[in-house]
Structure 1
Amino acid sequence: MKKLGVILLSSILIYSCQPQENTTAVGPEGWLEGNTEEKLDEVAHQLGGFSRTMVEVSYRYSELYWAGMDENWGYADHQVEHIIEAMEDGLKRRPVRAESSKTFMEETLPMMEEIIKKENKEEFIKGFQMFTSACNACHAKEGESFIMIQTPENRTSPVRF
């Protein structure tokens, strides 16, 4: 009987230490359903690919431009930091884009950081033109030269300096 108790207790401990698949729906109103793998697949789908990255980069690009025009160098630096972060996150999701973005990540963004440190509007304007050209070059490398970036004409953000 004692042996049976040890076996039973051992079985309970072994079973309880095994990871149990949680299929409980989570999120507001339980929108995220399925087993762990299915939930992670759905979260990855919700994060999207590189197009979602480009939406954020586009916003940050415009804000960077207006920050430079306002000579708000802290805000300009903030935008470059967030462009880098968005690009890095996007490249984790779509590593196939890494090769075409290499020059942009390793040369163009550091160049903008250095220009911003100088706090010189004229240099910023020239640098921003090179930045824009680098965006378009990257799009061309990806076979998407129909996506032509241009200097923003209108502000959409209420941020002013």
Structure 2
Amino acid sequence: MSEGEKVKGFNGHVYFTIDEIAHMLPGPARLMHEIGTRWWKVYYAAKEGNWPLAEYEIKETKELFEISMTTRPKYVQWMEPFMGESMKRVEDAIKAKNWKQFEEAYNQSIKDANDYHKAANKPLIHWKLPNTPPPDMEMKPQP
């Protein structure tokens, strides 16, 4: 490779430079949709007593937050406290399999998330728990 030539990767169809690949990495605008969907599933899985599914969905949610903080570090100041405090309380309630504790922690997490949106100058983003379980997945424990 000559000096000045950019490293490229091939996806089976097209060669991409590292800069082009970096540009395609998802930021919070794309990731928050999936985070919201998984957070919705956390609630309804716990409500049905499907603690393993709730635990799985919270683990996946944390991984999405990690990606978001990597691609957009300016949001770390809000995402880290949310994960370390709000999500931790929900996770502790899931581990305890305690619905009352869970519901209290979950409701607080929604308030916290919306407060963080305001602090991040995104007050137009106000998340709320949908009134019904997600239609794409069974929330009840499976045999």
TM-score category of the 2 structures, normalised to the smaller one: 0.7 to 0.9
Superposed CA RMSD in Å reads 2.4
Report the Cα distance in structure 2 between the residues aligned to 1:23 and 1:102, rounded to whole angstroms: 33
- 4+ residue stretches of structure 1 with deviation over 3 A? 18-25
- Identity level (%): 23
Which structure has the highest helix share of the two? Answer: 1
Equivalent runs, 1:53-132 vs 2, <5 Å = 53-132=31-110
TM-score normalized by structure 1?
0.75
The alpha-carbon distance between structure 1 residues 22 and 153, as it changes in their structure 2 partners (threshold 3 A), is: same
The alpha-carbon distance between structure 1 residues 22 and 98, as it changes in their structure 2 partners (threshold 3 A), is: closer
Q: Is the 8 A contact 2:86 2:105 kept in 1?
A: no
Residue 19 of structure 1 deviates from its aligned partner by 8.9
Q: Is the 8 A contact 2:38 2:57 kept in 1?
A: yes
Higher relative contact order (CA 8 A, sep 6+): 2
Mapped pair 1:29 → 2:13? yes
Q: Is the 8 A contact 1:70 1:160 kept in 2?
A: yes
Please tell me the residue identity of whatever aligns with 1:151: L
Structure with larger Rg: 1
Structure 2, unpaired ranges of 5+: none
Q: Equivalent of 2:23, from 45, 48, 51?
A: 45
Residue 21 of structure 1 deviates from its aligned partner by 5.0
Aligned residue pairs total 139
